Each structure stands twice: as C-alpha cells, then as structure tokens.
Amino acid sequence: MILENFKQFIWIFIFGVFACQNSSDKKLSNIFHYNQPNSITSLDPAFAKSQNNIWVVDHIYNQLVDLDEDLKIVPELAHSWEISDDGLKYIFHLRSDVYYHKDPCFGMDSLRLLKAEDVKYSLLRLTDPKLSAPGSWIFNDKLNPERPIEVINDSTLVFNLSRAFSPFLSLLTMQYCSILPEEAEKYYGSEIRIHPVGTGPFMMHKWLDRQGVFLKKNPNYFKSGLPLLNGVRISFIEDRNTAFLVFVKNGIDFFSGLQSSFAAQLLDEDGLLKESMEDQITMIKSDYLNTEYIGINLEALPSKHILHNKEFRRALNFGFDRAEMIKIFRNGLATPALAGFIPLVLKDTTFQNSYFSYQPDLAKDIIQKLDYTNLPIEEKEIIIHTNKDYVDLISFIARQWQELGIIVKIELVETATLREQMRNGTIGMFRASWIADYPDEESFTTVFYSPNPAPPNYTRFKNVEFDRLYQMAIQEKNLNLREEYYHQMDQILCEESPVIFLFYDQIALFMQNNIQGLKANPINLLKLENVRDMD
C-alpha cells in the first residue's frame, strides 16, 4: 500500500512539474491537451470500437455525412445526396476540394484529392474477412452482394441496398465509415494503425507508444479557416484520480466523466458545478444515447417463476424511486427512464409520456393481487446479477423492492463473466446498459427484435407485433410515421416490461475556462475543429 501511494505521488509530482513547464508553451502554441485513461490501440477507422480510438479517429478522418448538435444529418465529404423512392439506392455527390493529409504513400506529389473510388475502397474494406475488423457488422445484410457500391465518376457513387433501411445515413456517420486511401494500406500494411492518412482537421505528428499521441493542424483542411487549434496532445494517464489532479493544476485542458472519489470536489448536491470552481473550470452537460436497465431473460427462469407474469414485472417498474437513485448514485447526471427504452433526446416531445413514475402503493397492490407471499421461495425469489460498479445502485433498488415484500438477492459478478452469462442466456436477471451505435431509434429497438441474437437481444424478447412494427419502421421514409412506429414499440416494451427501466444517461465535460467552442453532444464525441485556446 505504501509503495502504491509512493508511485501515485511520483506520478502527481511528475505531471505537476510537466504542467508548470508546459503552461507557457501550451498558451503560445495553441495546443489542446486531454487525457485518455485507456491508451489508444489503433488509428485505423475499422478498429474504432471504443471511445479512446473513436475520439482520435474523429480528429484525423471524415465520413460522407456528419451530425450537427441536434443529431441531424449534415454534409461532410459528400455535399449532397439523393435516395430512391424504394429506399434501395443512395446516390452521393462528393466535394471536389478535399485533399488527404500530405504523406509519402502518395509518392512525389505527397498530396492527393479524395475520389469516389476511395469511398468504395474504405467501406468495402470493412467487410473483408481478412481484416477481422470490429466494424465489419456495419453493412451486414444491408448492401446488395452483387453490386454493393458503384462508382459513376470521381465525384459520384451509388450504394445499392439489399432492402430498405431508413437509418442508413445515420449508420454512415460512425467512425468505422471514415474514408482513407488505398495507397496508405499498401504503403504501410499493418502499420497503418500508427500511420493514419485521412482528410480530417488534424494529422499525425508523433506517437510515443504508451506516453501519448501528438496531432498537428491539417493546413489543407477543406473547411475554410478550420481548425482553430494548432494541435492536439493526448496523454495516457491510467489512474483517473491522478489525471484529475493534473487537470485541477491546469496541466490538462479537458476532463470527461466523474469518479465518486472526486465528484464532491466538483459538484454540489444538485449536480451543478460548485461556485468555488467556476473561476477556473467550465462544466457542460449533455444527454447521452445510453439507456441503463435491468434485463429479464425468462428463458433462464423456472416456468412458474413470478417474473413470467408481466403484471409483476410492471410492479417492479413502479416500485422504486428513480429520481432519488439518480441524485444519490449519479450526482444528478441522468434522467429517470419513465418513457420506455428509447432515450428522450431521440423522441418527439409528443412521445415523451411518463409510464413508470414512482408509485409504491400501486406496486404493492399488484403484488398482493398476485398472492406473492404464498408462493414457494423458488418461484418468487429475485436474483439480480451485477458487477461491482453498480452494486450500490442495485442495492438501493433491492431495498425499495424489499419494502414491498419482495425477496431480492444480489449476485456480484466480474464484468467479463457477466457479459458472457448474458450472451449465453444462463442468468435470469442482470444489470446492463445499451449505448447507441448511431443516433436513431432503431439502434435501441433492435435490442428487442426477436430474430436478433444476444447481443443485442439479451432478454430473448419475442413479440409478433413489436417485430412487425420494427420492420415497418426501418423501411419507412416518412419521419413522422417512423416516430409513430417507434412510439408504439416503446409502448409494447412498457406493457410487457422485459426490462426494468433505470435511467437515460448524461455526460459531464469539464474544461479550463480559457477553452472556447467545445460543445457536448449525445453521442459523446470530442469535436475539436471549432475549439480555440484563448490564452
């Protein structure tokens, strides 16, 4: 223990000195510095699976289309597009002023314009089984296998879908779908993971293995006047408490997320930034496309277990105080999940109905009518499987259910084991979360579409009407009709309650007051092209 404390002291001392030494340099050079507790493993977009990789890939590359602050699709490398009436063809028209980063892979010229063939190469590359990329699922069963992508000329290409899929544009905003040149892969081979060649606002300068990554401004960026920064530095301080101390010392410009060990230093009891911190730090919050829940897999439970009764499952949803839970365990950074599985940020206000407000008396009445107390223990005991990060939150829920007379047991499981049990379907009740891959309601309803395996359908939910509405929604071009279908699907989920809805997540971002232009977004991307260091 003494040795660990000494190591942490050394780290704090080193980074404290570093912060002091580099403070003036940072101000002069206009470099944005942030930390990733999990080091970057690859700068290849096909492997942009986790946040540490996704953020830096977004700094270096672009996609055909992007998202604005309201999660609306906006042009990026493509300046316009058309969709056929049957939803099977997507025709994209590319900008003619996009250059790749200057790189020796292009030979003597060093620079090259983006072409339609690059888009075809980049996206079909994802489907190559030899690559074994995490992003390979993107186009599964979506593209016509005979003519997936056709290049018409250098600035026009056509995607041919095997079936209509209305969230297709949203899918293309993912970092997996970033565009890179074939020359880079031929030149660098597997080393492309550390030699990225993109079109984005920043380009590779230096990668010091586990010490950090340095990016510099792309002088040929196609968005005039951007980026505003001269560069980006990414540190890999694994211990979040140490990184937080460096941030407080102004050695890092930006900090994401909260730990219970330092949350009280930043936030008051209402989840707002403390007045004492306002002179140095700015806090911004955003809804996050993540729904936290307790899943119920009826296939793993005895046939006579009380959880097979949907009224009992509904009673569980009425039987705990989400607002109090969020205040105690989430520092106020979440919204009670009262309106179904799809987060509120994706819903029209007319569909934000509250289904499961805290109604302990109603829950108790339902339980009594089901004659719960007279059931044998094996038919009424509830066992919730969770990892250590959520045991306090689950204990809070369990206590409130116990006050209703329900017998609840908590099984603590390692995270990897829990995921494997969920995948194999060997546990009946489990704490889980679902983070959207792209900003569309379909990314949440797919969790309950019965043909889907686990993941995403960990509950093995089956409902004929839900499946019918899902198929209608993914083929529907009319936005209003799609929203109505998704609303009906959420109503079915509330009625059947295959999950206990916990909360819709939020994110908190903290930055030094000299940083301007940084904005939060529901997909938790760190967008830096409009950021400026005012020192």
Query: What integer pLDDT is reported at residue 270 of this predicted model?
Result: 78
Structure tokens, 368: 């009594």
Alpha-carbon distance 54 to 527, whole Å?
Answer: 11
What H or E segment, with its residue span, contains residue 242?
A: helix 240-248
Alpha-carbon distance 189 to 195, whole Å?
Answer: 10
Contact 307, 429 (CB under 8 A): yes
Compute CA distances 24 → 30, 39, 394, 531, whole Å: 10, 26, 47, 19
What phi and psi values does residue 408 have, to the nearest 5 degrees? -125, 135
Alpha-carbon distance 190 to 335, whole Å?
Answer: 43
The identity of residue 286, as a single letter, is S
Query: What integer pLDDT is reported at residue 253 of this predicted model?
Result: 96
Tokens 């300068």 belong to: 205
Q: What's the N-to-C CA distance of the chain in angstroms?
A: 40
State yes or no: pLDDT of 535 exceeds 90. Answer: no
Q: What is the mean pLDDT of residues 58-83?
A: 95
Alpha-carbon distance 221 to 179, whole Å?
Answer: 14
Contact 243, 226 (CB under 8 A): no
Query: What integer pLDDT is reported at residue 17 of this predicted model?
Result: 37
Alpha-carbon distance 433 to 289, whole Å?
Answer: 10
8-49 pLDDT tens trace: 433 333 344 344 434 444 444 799 999 999 889 999 999 999
* DSSP letter for each residue of 49-115: -SHHHHHHHHHH---SEEE-TTS-EEESSEEEEEE-TTS-EEEEEE-S--BPPP-GGGGGG---B--
State yes or no: pLDDT of 210 exceeds 80. Answer: no
How many Cα atoms sit within 13 Å of 458 on the Cβ side?
A: 22
Q: What angle do CA 138, 144, 146 make, to 5 degrees?
A: 125
457-473 pLDDT tens trace: 999 999 999 999 999 99
What H or E segment, with its residue span, contains residue 33?
A: strand 31-35
Q: What angle do CA 515, 520, 524 make, to 5 degrees?
A: 120
Alpha-carbon distance 297 to 460, whole Å?
Answer: 6
Q: Which of 53, 58, 55, 33 is nearest to 43 (CA)?
A: 53
113-159 pLDDT tens trace: 999 999 999 999 999 999 999 999 999 899 999 999 999 999 999 99
Instruction: Classify residue 212 as left (phi > 0), alpha (psi -120 to 50) or beta.
Output: left
Q: Which of 100, 102, 126 is nearest to 114 (CA)?
A: 100
pTM of the model as a whole? 0.89
On average, the pLDDT of the chain sits at: 92
Contact 250, 513 (CB under 8 A): no
Taking CB atoms within 8 Å and a gap of at least 24, the contacts of 357-361 are 357/318, 358/318, 358/319, 358/320, 358/321, 358/322, 358/323, 359/318, 359/319, 360/318, 360/319, 360/400, 360/403, 360/404
Structure-derived torsion over alpha carbons of residues 343, 347, 350, 352, reported in degrees to the nearest 10? 0
The distance of Cα 398 from the centroid of its chain, to the nearest Å, equals 28
Query: What integer pLDDT is reported at residue 6 of this predicted model?
Result: 35
Q: What is the mean pLDDT of residues 202-229?
A: 93
Query: What integer pLDDT is reported at residue 267 of this predicted model?
Result: 87
Show the beta-strand stretches assigned E in 399-492: 408-412, 429-435
Contact 8, 205 (CB under 8 A): no
258-269 pLDDT tens trace: 877 788 888 887
Structure tokens, 439: 């900003």
289-333 pLDDT tens trace: 999 999 999 999 999 999 999 999 999 999 999 999 999 999 889
Compute CA distances 80 → 251, 276, 519, whole Å: 42, 48, 26
Query: What integer pLDDT is reported at residue 349 of this predicted model?
Result: 75
433-461 pLDDT tens trace: 999 989 999 999 999 999 999 999 999 99
- The count of other CB atoms within 10 Å of the CB of residue 329 is 17
Partners of residue 99 on adjacent β-strands: 113
Q: What share of the chain is helix, strand, coil (3-state, %, to 5)?
A: 40, 20, 40
Q: What is the mean pLDDT of residues 224-232?
A: 96
When pLDDT is cut at 50, 70 and 90, the band that residue 1 belongs to is very low
What phi and psi values does residue 46 have, to the nearest 5 degrees? -65, -15
Contact 126, 135 (CB under 8 A): yes
